[in-house]
Structure 1
């Protein structure tokens, strides 16, 4: 791999951790140079702006988390287990998140507003991708007879994502994994009680 490409990837990877820990607004160019060990001129040799770095950094962080989710999904055969994977990868979000700083989607979505439309759109795309994946799992569960017919696929996907991100936010805020873990228990009970097909 050419040296320039390695340097660019290094900037993206280090900036991804920085933004995910401190936020986009809370991270200055000086923070980026300190984190990467590359001077300002070197940064601008590869990126035109902080926004450009942020977009690639979010893509990188999301990719890391997505690979961990995919690895966990491959170990599950049931649709219910696959939905719960999205919470279980964050079960130890305080001490050992799948990416340093917590959930990249939650962090970007929380910080993005009308003053950063490009970042907001990237967060929206990330949300849509996760919802699409969850809807696919639910539809698969209906087809194979695990979930009952007539289930509102879109509503359930929205609910699962909301439970996931809400638990992450509360656990990160309190510094205690108990909220994610309680949500895993509650979502498991909910799916069993209302979504599984009656086997009688």
Structure 2
């Protein structure tokens, strides 16, 4: 990587937590300058706009979070067990970004006001849902998951339950809702197993 590429990456890495905590509107370029120690020209040399930086920061944050949530999943052979692992990993692994889940935060922040960020969040959600649905599809093919189970429905239920529980837990200041969601999803996943 060139020196310019390294500087650009450092700006993204240092801006990502700020955007995640404060949102697009709540994060000023001065916040980014303060975090990076760069002058305005130093940031704008690498990014044409605040929106471009926010988009890169979201992609960086989401890539790191998604990777952390998947870590170890490939070593699990059973499809139901793989889904259960995904739920446990979400529920039991501490967040790696201040402010919570970048997907949820950016989705709420960009819903009506920023089509670029909204499109990036939609793409990230689509990828997460597809990954979970693919595991269910594999289980249907292998006979590990009973017939009639709808992969899309399972993926939507897992994501909605976990993200909703995370929001409740953040509001209440404890992990009870996330633990409850984990337990309920484990019961649901036990119920889709063939057998």
Q: TM-score, normalised by structure 1?
A: 0.91
Match of 2:136 among 138, 143, 148: 138
- Structure 2 residue aligned with 1:10: 10
Number of residue pairs matched by the alignment: 195
Aligned-residue offset at 1:39: 1.4
CA contact (8 A) 2:79 2:136 kept: yes
Aligned-residue offset at 1:159: 0.8
Gap regions ≥5 residues in structure 1 = none
Secondary structure in structure 2 of the residue aligned to 1:46: coil
- Structure 2 residue aligned with 1:24: 24
CA contact (8 A) 2:20 2:105 kept: yes
CA contact (8 A) 1:55 1:119 kept: yes
CA contact (8 A) 1:86 1:164 kept: no
Q: TM-score, normalised by structure 2?
A: 0.93
1:86–1:173 Cα change, 3 Å: farther
- Structure 2 residue aligned with 1:149: 147
Computed over aligned residues only, the root mean square deviation of the Cα atoms, in angstroms, reads 1.5
The CA deviation string for residues 79-131 of structure 1, in whole angstroms up to 9 with x for no partner, is 223223343333257xx313332111111111112321111111111110111
The CA deviation string for residues 146-187 of structure 1, in whole angstroms up to 9 with x for no partner, is 110111111111111101111111111112111111111111
CA contact (8 A) 1:69 1:85 kept: no
Aligned-residue offset at 1:74: 2.1
2:66 paired with 1:66: yes
Match of 2:193 among 181, 192, 196: 196
- Structure 1 residue aligned with 2:53: 53
Gap regions ≥5 residues in structure 2 = none
